[in-house]
Structure 1
């Protein structure tokens, strides 16, 4: 009983995601790749970037940095698992034009630098610069609400709100 009274940890249920990239926010159905547009990996939004820097959209922990540096996975404090996938078919670049600033296990805060990327290289050598931001464990979420469309600013504009039970 004392453990119940004094051992309770604060449980964060709802987390607001801020834009990880400056650019134009669009719904996933606008992404020219069925894996994302048909929400096969989960729900979220996409941003067509106007600059080549991605920052953390939440306070959390880096759970994956892809060897090709084109994607990063973050676990938010409420358990939401977030994938930031920079561009489409960018895995084939094998890291060309990408520089990461974090590694697995790092704790991050909103606005911390994650990865820089060369938009010109992506425009020339990949399918698209559009960047899906996906909640990969959407099936476990109580709710997911898009908060922005149009112009968004990295680290400042709320783009998604995700609630877990």
Structure 2
């Protein structure tokens, strides 16, 4: 990958960390916090992050499996989250090379339409199946996910920014 000038070289991502962060995001999504339509989908956020940064390790198949897990957990129409996560991951992988050239705040602006489209897919499937409209608070979820993008970027890239062999002259 061609790096931007001034961008630090990152260490390789540990596969255990990648899948562990996805599992933790799944568990956070499964917390019984009530059905609030404005709540950001942390699993979708982490899926997009790893699809952008590690597209060969986290792909559409993983998004489909995690989507099915969310469908079963929420007793939603089977395939609702799976389709939304699959489309989200597909478009994230499609733009991943271009997206990495931008700064993190610019990336947040560019992934916002992906999150909005994923929530729109979930809402459309729910409404077609005869569900009730959750209210206009559902518009806040992709906005919050876009605002969380820089936070997730800092947290999930932190293990890759450490020095390969720390010593007293280079403690980080």
Query: Which has the larger share of strand?
Result: 1
Bigger radius of gyration: 2
TM over 0.5: no
Q: TM-score w.r.t. structure 2 length?
A: 0.31
What TM-score results when the alignment is normalised by the length of structure 1? 0.32
